[in-house]
Structure 1
């Protein structure tokens, strides 16, 4: 199937152009903001040629494409409505909690800028190589022109951010760009450089706004409140010329005197704070960030680091450790996947792991390895995390820096060329080799292939004898919740529906109480109270996850009645929660109940004939 046909099916599947408020993309995903996100049928969209999967998170409908995502985006964008100013769009934009809205801002206003930054950064890398080899010297016209080409995306970063922020906040785009442009106007820049500048007697803070991000975001954010107020008070017959004039007269001084300086000060505090932490506990910071980066990606929190990394490079000329830690994590994920490809006898898994490993190592795209292989098998993920953490020690000792924002991999190692000579680049190469070897060596003996089969059973034929297996142990698992039975495949979260962390069922609760489904121990209890991990006396590990994205409630409406390492009896109350208030806050309370150590058991029997369940209902049997 051609990309054009797939694009048409995707657009039809999400409800057509009229149902799309906005569309952006990252390295592997199309990220839709929809007016009605109940329209898409996940299974139908997943069956479209070229679609790897779907995910619903942070108010977005995400379609996972892979390396070809940019081609799909280019085909989709012209087909979408460009109005984007309806009341529905505005309402949708403000849905969700603060974190959801922050992620929307990052994905729609910051991520689209990154290609220009990558291009500019790579030009500067090329110029460094030409200079170090003596082909272009610093006192030539050639050097100055190439340097201007590389510097331009960084210098005009406030303009680029203002453009996409204006689209995100639904304000007048040309006017927004013009207001931020005042901060970069040559004569204004010259005035600030001299110092002691006043506007009608009000002092103007002397600052440099080129290559900044936060001032633009702050200015456009305030403009999104000023513009509607101006629109209300200006008569209709004069709106065409008077409204932009009034808005410019209000916003430009605000930007120059208040918002720009505040944004600049916040930028300085941010970069200084990161540098301070790195100077004081640099190795620890790198080790932790590298070791746990895969988990950060799983939760989607990694998108929040994009503006920080951009600001670091724009302000300091380099990122002190985040991108270097990503290199250790990416290569380690790829190395672990390659070890699985070598060791497995399953042809399908071998092909998947080989492709995923190559994608992570060479392209820096880890989603196929992370979601498709390592997370599902668990031990390769642990091996990769350990490898990344150890590699982080080497990176921290030698202070590896990144000079370009791009997903780190073998093909993008040029991002580490900078400073004096090629020393930093050589450290990056050695780091890559260390991460690849360690992850491969750790995974080979640690991961053992198991045959895991899931099968369905019927309540009509379930007897006591059916719960006994000839070999090993059979664990009967009761429902931990009262509510409506659901298939795990129907959970609107790819992590659970694709069984990336294990197999099981889901329950739509009708009562706000979780009870122990067997005798065992509390292995893990999230501080937010939204999830609990149990281990039965026979070794079955079970995750009970209450709702989707409920971690964002930060514990509100949840109360734990046990603590980690507590011994529990079947039927004992573990957690209570206010079901009505959680639903009123906009959260989907479908709750996955998943066996997470599938590699240690033979098979599970899932009772899919059930409709309503309580704590006396047997929902699964795990045969070890």
Structure 2
């Protein structure tokens, strides 16, 4: 299936573009903010070829795609024509407090991951070059590479301002201006001069706290949150004819001083308090935090809560130069996740599982765990236990040895150079030992526990596509699906769309229509009617679920040549007219009118038997569902 085809199906299954407030992506997951997550067909999405899993937690509906997520996201954006900004919908605002906070943190940070990961890897590479004396720290080459690596972190308030503005649905450029104010050279110089002189910075009789905001995280997020209240007020009180000029002026003149005087220092103190708390734990129970993070990172990732500890690590790097919280524990957890999957690959006899476990295991060890987590660990459960044990023991070792990282790098084996610190290789050596411990423990435990090998359990039922098979099959009378169209019945393999021809949406039959009318093939309820009227979903009185999709790629017609005769939620009887369509009009615009009839819950039946290779009339028996 192409990226475009997969994107189209995902978008359809999450309830259509009208159900999507916003959509973004991280390393492996599409992250939807849905207006109503009950409209999403989670089970159908999980069954799609190319989908690893689905998670609906932390205020986001997450579809785990894997390494192709960027391409699929691009196609979804094109299909839905989504704005990058959050809609700020009522549904989103009514979410519970904790999911909203987690969603906000995730929304602010995951767009920045590529920039931070690239800069972090460059800093790790520089640390490696320095450790082996392969580069002179006084050379221009080093200086240039060093400020290139530092730039993303130094200007972090500006970068965060962009993503936070999208989350809070405010003007990005005003938000960036506030971020730039916090790290403006003049403000930095004034702060430095005031510190040396033992004085302060006076602003209208108020004293601006002498705080450095380079590489800071919390202050700018709080500032942009404040903008989300000031900006609407500014737009409300300014004349529409002058709003373009006056509204940003009012916003800037209110937000900037308040940020410098109150919000920024508050965020800074929160960061310092957080650092002090972590420092206390590191001093008295140094083993605790890395052990907890190493053990429970899989659950943090599933819930999207790992974005809650990433800012803690970044704050520690900004204030003390070393992160002992987020990076180390997540690194050994990812290594353990990969080891558990690789153990499954060694032990299983199922070729598909072996292939998935092998590739997922390798990607997890280098820091991308979702394929292993959703494809192996959660599926078979025992590898998850092994990964938690391995990650916990590795985290315990890290905590006892007080290991930390010196750069923000995606946690995995490639992040090891970021553990080379000013004291040489001691910290790095302990990090390597911790990874080795996590890998060995997780691999051994996973190999011993094993999995229930799905060789026999998951063998697909054979399909029979003949009129004789239908006649001889054991079925109940209500398990018959009648033809909704007059035309020629053919195999699904003749459909040019892989979503249908490969049975991704379910098994069934296709009809090449002779007349532009579609009738109800069963008694039931219209459970889906797309706004373009090209497809209708029905649920039978006994639970069978059908999709009638008139034409291929006809969603692009935007409803032209289609007229719906029923409404969503309407009860219909077999033979009721559902839809009229202009066959010649559709063909003239270059689209194939072949119409798949899919049993979307065909996995609930022992077999789906069909008549193909012959002309059928409306109301003739076409499918029978064997139990």
Match of 1:104 in 2: 103
What residue in structure 2 maps to residue 246 of structure 1?
Answer: 250
Q: Give the structure 1 partner of residue 63 of structure 2.
A: 63
- How far apart are the structure 1 equivalents of 2:351 and 2:429? 37
Q: For residues 385 and 121 of structure 1, what CA distance do their matches in structure 2 show?
A: 26
Q: Mark the CA change 1:393 to 1:67 in structure 2 (over 3 Å): closer, same or farther.
A: same
User: What CA distance in whole angstroms lies between the structure 2 residues aligned with 1:83 and 1:380?
Assistant: 40
Aligned match of 2:226: 222
| Paired residues, number | 463
Could you tell me how far apart the structure 1 residues matched to 2:84 and 2:363 are? 35
Counterpart of 1:187 in structure 2 is: 186
Match of 2:404 among 377, 384, 401: 401
Partner of 2:438: 435
Mapped to 2, the partners of 1:381 and 1:103 lie a distance apart of 24
Q: Is the 8 A contact 2:334 2:411 kept in 1?
A: yes
How does the TM-score come out when normalised to structure 1? 0.68
TM-score, L = length of structure 2: 0.68
Q: Secondary structure at the match of 1:404?
A: coil
Distance 1:450 1:247 in 2: 61
The aligned residue for residue 4 of structure 2 is 4
The answer as to whether partners of 1:192 and 1:207 remain within 8 angstroms in 2 is yes
Residue 388 of structure 2 is aligned to residue 389 of structure 1? no
| Structure 2 CA distance for partners of 1:444 and 1:122, relative to 1, 3 Å | closer
Q: Which residue pairs with 1:30 in the alignment?
A: 30
Shift of residue 49, structure 1, vs aligned partner: 4.2
Give the Cα separation in 1 of the matches to 2:384 and 2:51. 24
Task: Determine the C-alpha separation between the residues in 1 that align with 2:89 and 2:345.
Answer: 47
In 1, the alpha carbon distance for the partners of 2:35 and 2:326 equals 35
Mapping for residues 14-163 of structure 1, pairs under 5 Å: 14=14, 17-77=17-77, 80-81=80-81, 83=83, 89-163=88-162
Cα deviation 1:447-492 (Å, max 9, x = unaligned): 464779699xx9x9xxxxxxxxxxxxxxxxxxxxxxxxxxxxxxxx
Query: Which string of whole-angstrom CA distances, capped at 9 and with x for unpartnered residues, describes residues 115-137 of structure 1?
Result: 21111122222222333333432
Q: Name 1:378's counterpart in structure 2.
A: 381
Displacement after TM superposition at 1:287 (Å): 2.1
In the alignment, which residue of structure 2 is the partner of 1:351?
355
Work out the CA distance in 1 between the residues paired with 2:387 and 2:10.
34
Rounded to whole Å, the distance in 2 between the matches of 1:289 and 1:41 is 32
SS at match of 1:67: coil
1:318, 1:403 within 8 Å by CA — same for their partners in 2?
yes
Residues 348/2 of structure 1: CA separation in 2 closer, same or farther (3 Å cut): closer
5 Å matches for 1:317-336? Answer: 317-336=321-340
Distance of 2:151 and 2:287 partners within structure 1: 33
Please provide the CA RMSD for this pair. Answer: 3.2
The unaligned stretches of length 5 or more in structure 1 are 461-606, 609-624
What do the CA deviations read for 1:174-226 (whole angstroms, capped 9, x no partner)? 11111221111111111111221110111110010010010001111111111
Name the CA distance, whole Å, in 2 between partners of 1:35 and 1:378.
Answer: 32
2:207 equivalent in structure 1: 203
Shift of 1:360: 1.7
Q: 1:427 to 1:75 in 2, by over 3 A?
A: farther
Change (3 A) 1:342 1:417: same
Residues 18 and 81, structure 1, Cα contact 8 Å, conserved in 2? no
Deviates more, 1:6-15 or 1:25-34: 6-15
Partner of 2:241: 237
Deviates more, 1:329-338 or 1:163-172: 329-338
TM superposition shift of 1:308: 1.4
Match of 1:313 in 2: 317
CA drift of 1:168 comes to 0.9
Which is further off, 370-379 or 94-103?
A: 370-379
**Change in CA separation of 1:165 and 1:360 when aligned onto 2, cut-off 3 Å:** same
For 1:338 and 1:402, the matched residues in 2 are separated by 26
- Which structure would you say has the larger Rg? 2
Distance 1:271 1:3, change over 3 A: same
> Partner of 2:285: helix, strand, or coil?
helix
Q: 1:413 aligns with which of 408, 416, 427?
A: 416
What's the secondary structure of 1:282's corresponding residue? coil
Which residue of the partner structure matches residue 166 of structure 1?
A: 165
User: Which residue does 2:532 correspond to in 1?
Assistant: none
1:365 maps to which of 358, 364, 368: 368
- 1:519-538 map, 5 Å: none
CA contact (8 A) 2:22 2:85 kept: no
